[in-house]
Structure 1
Amino acid sequence: MQEILTLLADSNILFPDPEKALDEPDGLLAVGGNLSIDTLLQAYHKGIFPWFSEDDPILWWSPGERMVLHPDQFHISKSLLKLLRKSKYQVTMDHDFSGVIHHCSTSRQRQEGTWITDEMMAAYIDLHRAGYAHSVEVWHEQTLVGGLYGVSLGSLFFGESMFSLQSNTSKIAFAALANQLHQWGFKLIDCQMHSTHLASLGAVTMPRQEFTGYLNRYCRTTPTGAHWKKAWQWIDHQQ
């Protein structure tokens, strides 16, 4: 195990083997580099993601155990199912990516200080325009009240962040995402770091080596019929 972090160049970036990530803090692998589309895509293909605060350099992570969700194993609680059945909400995909990521940033800033900096927002908006980053939006009376965003590569979705302005609207977005990805034949949703909230929704931990196997098998496979912008409004069809 390496004892010091890899310092990445500003350009021509080559990430180290994720198995060289630190044990403490868990998964910290490298520092520096940039947030260009090419760099981010290289990172995600290797199971690496950026996560840093406003005053930090860019930090890159690959935790020893990954929190993941198989799309067909999303757990809908009785209370969430009841909410879905009488829902006044509508769900769309890729209709307001910028709005979702800005709300995610603002929400986290209120809770714990955001890691979704202006630099990160600009990078993922570029990734969205390039067709790799996607959003799920939850609407109430034409107002955006919940959602999530992440990166889609092949048959894998890498979740980044979600927000709720009304109770459980992020769960509605996650349920809609899992349902749609299951229909498209996606194999896995990467949730990155463990949390009891994610575990309650059906996510489980997966060792890094097993997760790397999924990356090698499914990052370049083409899901069936995936068209984010035209994804059907899942909540309406559950009523």
Structure 2
Amino acid sequence: MDSAPADAPVAIGGRLDPATILGGYRHGTYPMPAATAADIEVNHALYEDSVASGATVVLDSPLPDPYALVWWSPDPRPVIPYGGLAKARSLMKLLRNRLTWTTTANQDFARVLAECRRDRVPEWLTTELCEGMMVLNELGWAHSVEVWEDDELVGGAIGIGAGEVFVLDTCFHRRSNASKVALLDMEHRLAGAGVTLLDVEWDSDRSRRLGAGPLPRHEFLATLARGSDPIPLAGGVEPARRLGFLRTPG
């Protein structure tokens, strides 16, 4: 991975079966399938030079066009030390004093995934990727958190991890702050699981607001290599209010 591009896909092509998806995550790469022909053409325009130079590897693939699936491993990697997810004072106050939500884990993975997929542009959560993630949830690798307002699902998050690294893969909200609560709940439910890093995959203003900072790829991969077992997520119905008493270390 030392010679892999920092800001282009490390590979194109391959498959989206559950074993390949999991293998990608366990080796520090994640898939971004193209949902439309237009998306595939964009990938051609952006990455053909990297492929031609040999920097981006072309994987054996059953796909008619390998540019329909790209694999990323950015350098540096945006990560949050475990426990360091941002805990804004205003949100903590809302949780303690006003929000009456409850949270669950892995109660409705399929529905959270569908909500995360809805209205996303570009649509990287394709049907094939979602089917693979469903299998990984059944096998204990991928997890969901649900945020409920009475019986209504108002937010949620999906994550997947191995060893010391847990990926905060995607989230959604149907009420203000519900996705933030889902992520906080997910972090809290990982307590005692041995997680040291939360991987947010993409650097962005939002990821920085969550508390992410850059980690050189070789350091990220070294942390990832220290463990390979699936990461458990504590279950049960919990009051979201309990999260309002959390503090960011330091």
* Residue number among 234, 239, 242 corresponding to 1:237 in the alignment: 242
Paired position in structure 1 for 2:28:
47
Q: CA deviation at 1:234?
A: 5.2
Question: In 2, distance between residues paired with 1:233 and 1:218?
Answer: 29
2:73 equivalent to 1:90: no
Residue among 38, 61, 73 paired with 2:19: 38
Distance in 1 (CA, whole Å) between partners of 2:158 and 2:242 is 22
- Gaps in structure 2 of 5+ consecutive residues: 41-67, 245-250
Partner of residue 201, structure 1 = 210
Cα distance in 1, alignment partners of residues 156 and 16 from structure 2: 23
Partners of 1:67 and 1:147 in 2: CA distance: 21
2:70 equivalent in structure 1: 59
1:64-213 equivalence runs, <5 A: 64-85=75-96, 86-108=98-120, 112-213=121-222
Q: Paired residue for 1:218?
A: 227
1: distance between equivalents of 2:108 and 2:123?
A: 20
Structure showing greater relative contact order (alpha-carbon pairs closer than 8 Å, 6 or more residues apart): 2
Looking at structure 1, the residues matched to 237 and 216 of structure 2 have their Cα atoms a distance apart, in angstroms, of 34
Quote the residue 1:13 is aligned against: none
Give the partner amino acid of 2:238: Q
Listed one character per residue, the Cα deviations across residues 11-43 of structure 1 (whole Å, up to 9, x for unaligned) are xxxxxxx334334xx140111111122212221
Distance in 2 between residues matched to 1:183 and 1:74, nearest whole Å = 16
* SS of aligned partner of 1:217: coil
**Distance in 2 between the 1:238 and 1:47 partners?**
30
1:91–1:233 CA contact under 8 A, matched in 2: yes
Shift of 1:168: 0.8
Once residues 22 and 184 of structure 1 are traced to their aligned partners in structure 2, the CA distance between those partners, rounded to angstroms, is 32
Q: Secondary structure in 1 aligned to 2:160?
A: strand
CA RMSD of aligned residues (A): 1.9
Cα deviation for residue 209 of structure 1 reads 0.4
Change in Cα spacing, 1:227 to 1:48, as seen in structure 2 (3 Å) is closer
Q: What secondary structure does 2:175 align onto?
A: coil
CA displacement at 1:61 relative to structure 2: 0.9
Shift of 1:97: 0.4
Letter in 1 for 2:222: G
With the length of structure 1 as denominator, give the TM-score of the two structures: 0.82
Q: How many residues align?
A: 213
Aligned residues of 2:164 and 2:224 also touching (Cα < 8 A)? no
> In the alignment, residue 73 of structure 2 is paired with which amino acid?
S
TM-score by length of 2: 0.79
1:35, 1:161 → 2: CA distance? Answer: 17
Structure 2 Cα separation of the partners of residues 34 and 43 of structure 1: 10
> For residue 83 of structure 1, what is the amino acid of its counterpart?
L
Residue 213 (structure 1) shift: 0.9
User: Quick check: 2:164–2:226 contact (8 Å CA) kept in 1?
Assistant: no
Equivalent pair of 2:146/2:153 in contact (CA under 8 Å): yes
